Amino acid sequence: MKEMVKRIGIPEKSQRARDRGSEEIGLEIKKKRGKKNAFSMEYREFKSSLTTLHDLNREITSAIKTMARGKMEQFKEKVKKLDEKSRKQFHHDYNMFLKNLGENGKPLDTDAFKMPPKAMELFCQILQSGIALVYYLRFIRDMSLVYLVANFESFMQKSLDKSFRKKPELLSSSGKSVKYEDFVKCKSMKEARQHIIQKEIQVVNQDIEEIRNYHRTKLGMEMSDFVDWNEFKERFYRRNIIVHNSSKPNKLYRMKTGYSGKDERMGVDADYLAQSIELFGTMARRMTEFLNCKIA
């Protein structure tokens, strides 16, 4: 470096000053970039969890379908070992069962079958295996929605925590306070402030409409502008009936979503889950863009 400085005729002290200036400019640029992306880490973590959720469902669904094909092949081999009369009656009753299930959506009572006991035992094994595989898929998808909503609530909580730490003045309108016995335990005002923040961010455990109002009032963010709000909030209420009401619509679900259908199970199929993952990803991205622009 010294030889280069001498060769081009720049005084060494001047060059050092310029080098320091360049480093300072570089650091300033990094700081500005950091401010613009201050909330991006929370989004990247959430986005990563969405990818994991999507991939797990794809792989588990594929594994369950492979398992189903394997079991069916095993059952076919067992059916072949039945005597001819039992085999013919098995196929007749089995096809009648499938036809009735397809037309009416309900299985036939096994009393209607005429197959002998050994064939009936095999049929029951096939039926139980099929039901189990259906329940596996149902459970995985239902729990995926539960996880998706819970993880989004965690994302909101982290984003609010960072917002209040970056702009403590946002807490000025907070109704939260620190009890005297808790306050005296705090070693600094910073610790006391963090205590209030932890109370404040519990808002994410409230109704999604309350969370929306909170973000509008506290941050000036209108969440309903970012996605189809009715579709988005419905996921929260469906999560609730999955956890608390065996996936059946209750009075609260009907009131909050406008649903007027039958009192039947409302599960999570593959398309619904895929749409939910995309919907929550878009909401998280738009919220992050807002926070990077307005808070960072």
**What is the spatial distance between Cα 117 and Cα 119, in angstroms, rounded to a whole number?**
5
Other CB atoms within a 10 A radius of the CB of residue 291 amount to 22
Say if 174 falls within a structural domain: yes
**What is the spatial distance between Cα 207 and Cα 78, in angstroms, rounded to a whole number?**
53
Say if 267 falls within a structural domain: yes
Other CB atoms within a 10 A radius of the CB of residue 36 amount to 12
Say if 290 falls within a structural domain: yes
**What is the spatial distance between Cα 20 and Cα 155, in angstroms, rounded to a whole number?**
39
pLDDT of residue 110: 65
Say if 1 falls within a structural domain: no
Say if 275 falls within a structural domain: yes
pLDDT (tens digit per residue) in 8-42: 444 554 555 445 544 554 444 344 445 568 899 99
Say if 24 falls within a structural domain: no
Q: Using an 8 Å Cβ cutoff, are 147 and 63 in contact?
A: no
**What is the spatial distance between Cα 158 and Cα 162, in angstroms, rounded to a whole number?**
6
pLDDT of residue 174: 55
Give backbone dihedrals phi and psi of 67, rounded to 5 degrees, phi first.
Answer: -60, -40
Q: Is the pTM of this model over 0.85?
A: no
Long-range CB pairs of 44-51 (<8 Å, 24+ gap) are 45/155, 46/151, 46/152, 46/155, 46/281, 46/284, 47/281, 47/284, 47/285, 49/151, 50/148, 50/277, 50/280, 50/281
pLDDT of residue 77: 94
pLDDT of residue 198: 82
Say if 166 falls within a structural domain: yes
Say if 134 falls within a structural domain: no
- Domain count within the chain: 1
Q: Which domain holds residue 202?
A: 42-54+141-294
Running along the chain, 296 residues long, what does each successive block of 10 average in pLDDT? 45 50 46 66 96 96 93 93 92 86 67 85 90 92 97 96 89 56 54 74 94 95 97 98 96 97 93 97 97 89
pLDDT of residue 222: 97
